[in-house]
Each structure stands twice: as C-alpha cells, then as structure tokens.
Structure 1
Amino acid sequence: MPGPEQQLTVGGGPGRLEDGADVIVVGAGPAGSTAAYHLARTGLDVLLLEKSAFPREKVCGDGLTPRVVRQLTDMGVDVSEEAGWLHNRGLRLVSGRHRLELDWPELSAYPGFGLVRRRADFDELLARRAEAAGARLIERANVAGPLVDERSGRIIGVTARLGDRKQPVEYRAPLVVAADGNSTRLSLAMKRYRRTDRAMGVAYRTYFTTPRHDDRYLEAWLDLRDPGNPERRVVPGYAWVFGMGDGTANIGLGVLDTAAVAGELDWRELLRSWCAGLPPEYGYTPEAVTEPVRGSALPMGLNRRPHYADGLLLVGDAGGTVSPATGEGIAYAMESGRYAAETIVQALARRTDHGRELALYAYPQALRSAYDGYFALGRLAARVLARPRLLGPAGALGLSSPALLRAVFRLMVNLTEPNSRDALDRLLHALGKVAPSGR
C-alpha cells in the first residue's frame, strides 16, 4: 500500500503539498468525526477536513435514539442534562385519533433513554472531541477532488481549497475516508455511483415556539397525507415534533421513498399544511415559526457501493447509511464511522500490502452484517406505506392498532435483544438477520 512519503504520479490540478497523514477524513459530520476520533485515539496521524466553519447548520430532526447515546458515551461525551442534553423516555406514535407512548427498552447493549440536541451544537461537539483525541481538524477546507496514483488507480490524497482565498493545497495519505455527505463529490470522482434501485428520501424541518418544548417523548405522526388528496393518499413517511427544551420544538417530515409518490409534491408546502392541522395545545401558528423551512436528501439503504475500494472508504450519508424504515441517519453514520476506523486500525497493523488490503475489505462486510437485513425490512415497510391499496380496507384501522404500532416501534428504532424472552423481540431480530438484502 503506498504511503504518503512515496513519490507517486498523481492526477488532479496544481497545488502546494501541504501535509501528509496516515488517514484523511473528508467531512466533520457525525460519521467523519466519529471515525477521526476512533482513529486518532490509537495514535494514528489523522487529518479531518471540514468545508464549513463551526458552528454550522444541518437539516435534521435533532432527536437521538439510544443507539446514538451508546456511541457518544463510548467517545467519552458527557450526556447529562447538566451538559446541555435533553433526555427523552421514548417515542410517541400518533395515528388517527390513537396515541401510544413506547419507552426505549433497557437492553444489554443500549441505554433506556434518548437525547435531543441541535445539530449546530452536536456536530461541533463531535468534531472537537475528535480534535481532543489527536485528530488535526482543518475548517473551511473545501475538498475539490482526489489525488490518484495513475498506475494503480488508488486514491493517495485529496486536493482542497482553504479559506476565503481558496488557496489550493494537496494533502496525502494512503487511506481516505469519504464522509462528505449525500453529494459526496469525492466518491463520485472515484466512480462510486448511487444505486438507482434503492429509494431516496427527503426531510424538511423548521422550529416553532411551543408550550410542549420539554416533552419527554419524541413524537411521530404516521398518517402523513397529501393535502391535495387528503382522502386517498398517504405519503410514505411520517411527520415529527421533537421538543428541544429551550422553548421551541423541531417540527418536520420525512418522506421515505420520493419515487413512490405519484406526481410532484411541494414538500415545504406539505409541511406547512400539516403543521396548520396540529391540535391547539401545540401552539402552532405561522407567527410562532422561528426559522425558515429547510430540507435535504436522505440517501438510504447502503445505496452507494463499493464501500471500500482503491484506498477509499465511504461512511455515513456518503455510503447511504440512512435507515429506509425511519430516515434515521445519525446513529448509522456514527456506527459506520466507527466500523471504518476499527477496520483501518487493523489493516495498518498488517505487515504486507496484500494483508492490509484483505483487512480493509472487512469494512463493507461489517456494514452488510450489521444492516442488510434490517434495511431490507425497512424497504419493505416503506413500500407498503407507499401503496395504501396493499393495506386493504382495514389499512387505516391497522395503522391505529396498538399491537401493530408496537411492532412498528421495534422495527423503526432497531433496538432488539437477541436473547430476549419477548417473542416479538426475538422475531424482529431474526427477521433482521435473514431478510434478503437484494445486494
């Protein structure tokens, strides 16, 4: 495996050789910062490049499940309420006139509580945590493309432009982690294309002042309807209201399969129309809205592959790790960043190029083992919700069934105990392992 000290013939534009590292991580979102943290704490020289300057905004629901809590505590983050986190007890599912509050399960691998934190704070906290572990964080470093060894086709670094002056520089490393989000210019330049057979979703959100800002349950409304066809169209997704504990709530919608919605919908208008129908106790009015409606794409179901080849690993949104069942992205972004870091550490400990390369292919295997079955179930659930006729005449009634909603909850949050005595828990865990991945 070529090292940063080797003189290689490279492609790319002119630039000043700025620095070398053991690993370059492009993007300091949850996936990139988690990867950089776990790499740096082993003593590797890690360069973490972020195109923006912190704090910076990202579209998100701001609700964090126990899967995220586990990753945070493993990184030594103080998740107490005194440290600025709002704890929540579980998820409230709303369907029609029915409401069901479901607490997070207390499992051997996950705690029994979730969190809420604004992404502007959350992302910077993770980036600073990686920096404290030894990663060299460079903000306002806009990566323009890869440096490629023309003989082998391997990535050996990146080109970037720094600051307001867009100063061109080159950074070199034998391994690069693409954590640059859904647009992932780096992955595209290395010919990692999105799979068209995997659904793409969207999320739109805003904030509004509400007396329910300190609600201890995340709230998901399952009967999200197109206001143009309120009697016959259920949009394949859900709306949410997550109290922030600061006088406001994050309110938004996630559409899990945009291709399944016949015709074009104005997602911003759909959110505004849905908000207008909230019960009076939420206090929603257009005047209560504190920020513009913003949206982003949801790359789901491991929709960009290969996740490792030619020295480049894809993590988080760059690798399409968003859950097709819920649109949850942060937990799987952080987990994929950790899987990538652990794989790299093992690979760099090998004594030969061949051994290192073999070890690196453990990363996509880890992703498939962890997510293929669960994501396959998520895609199936999204297809059913996208086609109300499949639910039959009892569809609306079924969505209001407490027993069914409990099963939906287990599927949505992906929190199961393999050796549980609970029959539903064991069933969902087993299904998640054997569901066909369609890889």
Structure 2
Amino acid sequence: MATTLDPVTSADVVVAGAGPGGAAAAAHLASLGYDVVLLEKDRFPRDKVCGDGLTPRVVGEMLQLGMVDEAHGRVDGWATQRGLRIHGGSTVMELPWPELDDWPSWGATATRKVFDEAVARRAQAAGAQLHEGVAVTGPRWRDASQSRAAGVTWRDEDGREGEVRAPVVIAADGASGGLGKHLGVTRRSDRPMAVAARTYYRSSRSDDPWISSFLDLTDAAGNLLSGYGWVFPLDDGTINVGLGLLSTSKDFQAVSYRKLLGSWAGGIADEWETTEANRTDAIRSGPIPMGFNRTPLHQRGVLLVGDSGGMVNPFNGEGISYAMEAARLAADVVDRAMTTKRTADLDAYDRELRQRWGGYYTLGKVFAELVGHPAVMHACTTYGMPIRPLMELVFKLMAHLTDRHPSDTKDVIINTLSRLVPAA
C-alpha cells in the first residue's frame, strides 16, 4: 500500500534507490528488525538498460531473500536457462552452468521492469517503507562540518520536499547517483568503463534454453570491435538483444551504439528474426561502471552499493549479483555497527568487499585492456574457442563461478589467481 512520506521522517537506515542493490539491502535490514526507509525516484514498473540475465550468482541472492523455490529450481513466470552458448570465430559452443556447492546450477532471465519490482516488493514484505516517486537530493549532515551524514533530503514528483533522518545511509542510486557526487566520490580513470545498448524483438526462439554471447562484434565495415553481443530469451515471446563496448577500445568514443546495434541485429536476423518489423522497443544505451571505479565504498556514514560504487564485473558486464551481494554485506556491517555505535566500524564494508572481489576485479581490468586490441580478440576467438577445456576454464573465470573450497582444478586456478593478484 502506498503511503505519504512525512516532511520529516526518522529511521534506522535510509536507502536511496530501489534497484536490486538498494531493495536487497532494505529487505535484509528490515528482516533484521531495523526501521528502513527505501526511496525510489521512479515508479514501478520501471525500466533500465540491461541484458536481463540472472546468473547463478543472482539466483543465489534470490534464494537468500526467499524469492526462489529451491526445490523446483525455477521462478514462476520467468524464463530459465541451462547455461551459455558462445559464438566466436567459426565455433559455437554450449557451456552449462557449472555444478557447484556454493552456487545454484541454473540461471534465469526477466526484464528489469519485472525483476526490480519483485525485489522491491520483497523489501516491502520484509517491513521496509518503500516510497516511489521520491528523488534523493543530497545528504543531510549531522553538523556544519559535514563530517558525518545523518540522513538524506528529498523531493517528490509533486514538488514536496523533506528529509529522512537516519544514522546510516545506503546509496544505491546508480552510476549517475547524486549522493556519491555530494560526497566528492568521482569516477576512477584507472578502471574500465563500458557502454551497453539493447532492445527487444519478437522471436520464435524466445524459448531457447541457452543465453547466447557473441565474441565477434563488428561494425558496418566488418571491423572487429572490443566488445560482445548477446541474445537473451524471455518468457513473453521476445528476446533481449544487445551489445557492450569497452572503454579500452579505440572506438569507444567514436561509435554510435544505437546504429551499431541496429546493424549487428540485422546481420543475425536470419537466425534470430531480429528484423525492424519484429522490434518491439526503442534502442536504448547506458553506462556500465566496472571494477570498483568509484571509491571509497564507505564515506562519512554512507555506503555505496551497486553501480553507485562501480561494482560491475569487468569480465562480463554483470552487475546485478554484485549489487545484491554487496547489499547483503552492507546489512551485516550495518548490523554490527549499530551494536557498537561506531561509525568507523562501517569501514569494514569497504575492506571486506575489496578482500572478496579486489583481486578478481584486477584480473578483469587486465582482461579489459587486452581485449581492447582487436588483434588480441581475433586471436582468442580463432585459436582459443575450439578448445573446450580451455573455454570451460574461461567460462568459470568470466562468470565468477567457483567454490570457495574447491576440488576442481579449474576452481583452484581461478581462486589462486584472484587471491595472489593485488586488489588495487
């Protein structure tokens, strides 16, 4: 039920942004018994540029939130898939999601209109106060020194203004989020960025049991670009078709993403029915902040979650699972800090996330720099793709799917590399 936000409201925690990260944080904190206010500038259902893929890492977080029936291994009304079909060079290879102790062995797809609202409603069901159509305009400071945030200020779609007073703030307001900017957090130029474009097509292949990735992304002249394309089937008779291009590519600033996607989609129309007549939505594009490209992740009582902290995986452009995993850690750290009543204890959030993903993201940064050169990408697809054991290793690495205490050699290699490489 919608409620009106009072001009002055008090809570234990206020969360800016009800995407998967913010909503998951609110759900976990509310489940712990905290009074949580969750503010979302738009109204559900609302869209976001995304591939709409929910990897086993996302499914794991959905299990944590009680959104998935683990016994049945599926989500009612959403499409589920066996794994990834990779297209590269002259090779097409199907790689099932790995069987692991720490992660589910299946993935799903759902539009962000469906998925984001589902997580937000889960937060509501847990007891969080969700207010839609309310934009956070900045931090509310505890005193004139601005040494500690003590809530946020807001403006709603009717022009009303007010504030939520809370000792802890979670900023989950996206790549262009204003809270981080108010705190002086800026994009790190030493971390990769990407731009993604996507649209939807009606297709008789919308029931495909695999999500597809295309490593040979070319422009209209046939030049190989440092990016990848995807086709993700949905349960509504459509497919999500998109592409991403890395900032390490010389074409990053020069290309028209909408034109490139339209041209590439036309090139696969014989197989996927991606004709203009079948397109059901506009081609939209958006930024993808990668590898902790906004730091520190805790500053003055504000924790950055998801795109606001640049948490997207540099290997594959996945951001949903990292936002939701960070949200769960944020809830745990906030719970601990509430007990000690020490703001400094919130620093554990930044420290623990870097320990978890810092080395892996550094590997991803190196990967992004390498595939920024078309010759490297060509060599990888031509000579590496036909070797299945190698591709199984690469798949696990890029999907970030290994067991913490593995018996599989591939997992041991990936975990060792991630542990030995320094977290920058």
Q: Name the TM-score class by shorter chain.
A: over 0.9
Give TM-score scaled by structure 1 length. Answer: 0.91
Question: Gaps spanning 5+ residues in structure 2: where?
Answer: none
Residue aligning to 2:164: 171
- Could you tell me how far 1:422 is from its partner in structure 2? 2.5
1:196 to 189, 203, 215: 189
1:432 to 415, 418, 424: 418
- Residue 408 in 1 paired to residue 394 in 2? yes
Distance 1:263 1:298, change over 3 A: closer
Residue aligning to 1:12: none
Give TM-score scaled by structure 2 length. Answer: 0.94
Residue aligning to 2:369: 383
Instruction: Tell me if the contact between 2:59 and 2:107 (Cα under 8 Å) persists in the aligned partners.
Output: yes
Q: Following superposition of structure 1 onto structure 2, how do residues 145-164 of structure 1 map, counting pairs within 5 Å?
A: 145-148=138-141, 149-163=143-157
Residue aligning to 1:206: 199
Residue aligning to 1:280: 270
Instruction: Tell me if the contact between 1:208 and 1:249 (Cα under 8 Å) persists in the aligned partners.
Output: yes
Residue aligning to 2:103: 110
Residue aligning to 1:49: 39
Letter in 2 for 1:421: S
- Residue 22 in 1 paired to residue 12 in 2? yes
Q: Following superposition of structure 1 onto structure 2, how do residues 131-150 of structure 1 map, counting pairs within 5 Å?
A: 131-148=124-141, 149-150=143-144
Letter in 1 for 2:129: R
Instruction: Tell me if the contact between 2:225 and 2:249 (Cα under 8 Å) persists in the aligned partners.
Output: no
- Residue 294 in 1 paired to residue 284 in 2? yes
- Could you tell me how far 1:32 is from its partner in structure 2? 0.1
Q: What value does the CA root-mean-square deviation take over the aligned residues?
A: 1.9
- Could you tell me how far 1:367 is from its partner in structure 2? 0.8
SS of 1:206's equivalent? strand
Residue aligning to 1:303: 293
Instruction: Tell me if the contact between 2:102 and 2:402 (Cα under 8 Å) persists in the aligned partners.
Output: no
Q: Deviations over 1:381-423 (max 9, x none)?
A: 1111111344686763334443432232111110012433322
Q: Deviations over 1:247-292 (max 9, x none)?
A: 1100000123255436600111111111111162322211111100
Distance 1:237 1:215, change over 3 A: same
Instruction: Tell me if the contact between 2:14 and 2:168 (Cα under 8 Å) persists in the aligned partners.
Output: yes
Distance 1:262 1:128, change over 3 A: closer
In 2, Cα distance between the equivalents of 1:66 and 1:395? 25
- Could you tell me how far 1:379 is from its partner in structure 2? 1.4
SS of 1:361's equivalent? helix
Count of aligned positions: 416
- Residue 269 in 1 paired to residue 259 in 2? yes
Distance 1:82 1:386, change over 3 A: closer
Instruction: Tell me if the contact between 1:256 and 1:327 (Cα under 8 Å) persists in the aligned partners.
Output: no
- Could you tell me how far 1:18 is from its partner in structure 2? 1.9
Residue aligning to 1:337: 327
Instruction: Tell me if the contact between 1:89 and 1:114 (Cα under 8 Å) persists in the aligned partners.
Output: yes
Q: Deviations over 1:342-388 (max 9, x none)?
A: 100011011xx4xx233211100111011111111111111111113
